[in-house]
A and B are shown apart, each in its own frame.
Chain A
């Protein structure tokens, strides 16, 4: 099992550009999450999904969109990138809701200049 994989690992965007962060899991997990981690801070939830076709906002959803057409993939879309979106983005998945274990990917480091 590869677990949770994320691409790209690093990316630099110019203000106003758009991009999609990819996330895939091969554990047949129902729940998937997107977090962002700013320097010296914990993780903040952006969006989450409880199954294919079902997504909902987390704590900091503004400027992002998600879709989940299959169990395996949960891409995060950034429209009109802003410097405030400079962060490390983590995707995670779990089979069930809490207190089940969430498995995290290695992260995508995004810089918006």
Chain B
């Protein structure tokens, strides 16, 4: 079945690293995504990883994928107050018309 789960809250201090975790259940996932949602705004794609990769780095963002454990993580280095938002993990399934299945989101709070 399709299910994506995330922890609901994370609080860090400015300058620290943040790690947001996600588990998914469908092994046929082709791409996995991290989206960011700021208050009152739509979802914005942060980064994605193809299922045959185990790591992707993009500036302050590092995505790690463990296919065996169906675990995805997003690490934000040098977290800033502007990174405070809700982060959603999502998967897309092969031959499912490109629809994304989202987790419930992790609210990241960055304290100065």
A, B: real partners: no
